[in-house]
Amino acid sequence: MAGDNPSPPDAAGHRARLRQRLLNGGAEALADYEVLEYLLFAARSRGDTKPTAKALLRRFGSLAGVLNADPTTLSQVQGMGEVSAAALKIVAVAARRMARNEVQQQPVLGSWQALLDYLHIDMAHLTVERVRILYLNAQNRLILDHHVGDGSVDEAAIHPREVIRKALDIGATALIIVHNHPSGSPQPSHADIQITNHIAEAGRLLGVTVHDHVIVGREGHVSLRAKGLV
């Protein structure tokens, strides 16, 4: 594979030592660059993956940044290629599915931290602004995680009547609005507050409750309900 590094004399021994530390040492046994090293072993049967792992961390800033990076951008890092990018992306896919499963197994309002964990894993590192509506049934269980679209949150991108009509079509009695701020700061804008109030008003007329609007960013999250804005 293009970009592979020549094997150092003790490459096999190094891989074996990492494997033993992983299996015997628990969650914190490996440093972030060593986690990436180990993931890249799946793409390279031989060779030293440490330089590539460290280059990835320099480029993307953190382990989460690497795992959430676009595959094309990953492939631009020296030592990376399509197979290596896929080896990293499958981890992000698995993490999202595990987090989503935690949300689906119990009422959302009773497992709020699981929801926040899922949203952070799924959206905090996106480079575009994405709007989603989480539709809930009468037991507050998630029945649909609907991707409304990408772009700024305003009525040109998200139509209150359409949001509520979707709820009625699928039998939802409540919803949670979610979007991310690629800037990193989750603080709400005037448009965020305005669209939330318009959707809540439309929902009240037809018996659909807007529980919250959660904004996610790399720096954390903000609940408009907690701030008294819903």
What local confidence, expressed as pLDDT, does residue 4 receive? 44
Strand-by-strand arrangement of the 142-150 sheet: 142-150, 130-136, 174-180, 209-217, 220-223
What local confidence, expressed as pLDDT, does residue 48 receive? 86
What local confidence, expressed as pLDDT, does residue 2 receive? 42
Please name the helix (run of DSSP H) or strand (run of DSSP E) that holds residue 12, with its range, or none: helix 11-25
- What are the boundaries of each domain within the chain? 11-96, 107-223
Give the 3-state secondary structure of residue 217.
Answer: strand
> Any long-range contacts for 63-66 (C-beta under 8 Å, 24+ apart)?
63/32, 63/35, 63/36, 64/124, 64/125, 65/125, 66/36
- The pLDDT tens digits of the residues spanning 4-43 come to 444 455 667 788 888 888 888 776 888 999 999 989 988 8
pTM of the complete model: 0.74
What local confidence, expressed as pLDDT, does residue 200 receive? 95
CATH of 11-96, one of 1.10.1060.10, 1.10.150.20, 3.90.660.10, 3.40.50.300: 1.10.150.20
135/112 Cα distance (integer angstroms)? 15
The total number of residues written for the chain in this structure: 230
**Residue 187 and residue 222 in contact, taking contact as beta carbons nearer than 8 Å:** yes
Chunked into runs of 10 residues, the chain (230 residues) has average pLDDT values of: 49 81 81 91 83 93 87 90 91 88 82 88 85 94 90 71 95 95 88 93 95 92 91
- Say yes or no: domain 107-223 is CATH 3.40.140.10: yes
**Residue 224 and residue 122 in contact, taking contact as beta carbons nearer than 8 Å:** no
Residue 213: strand pairing partners? 177
**Residue 95 and residue 107 in contact, taking contact as beta carbons nearer than 8 Å:** no
**DSSP secondary structure string, 125-160?**
T-SS-EEEEEEE-TT--EEEEEEEEES-SSTTT--H
28/32 Cα distance (integer angstroms)? 9
**Residue 15 and residue 39 in contact, taking contact as beta carbons nearer than 8 Å:** no
**DSSP secondary structure string, 166-187?**
HHHHHT-SEEEEEEE-TTS--P
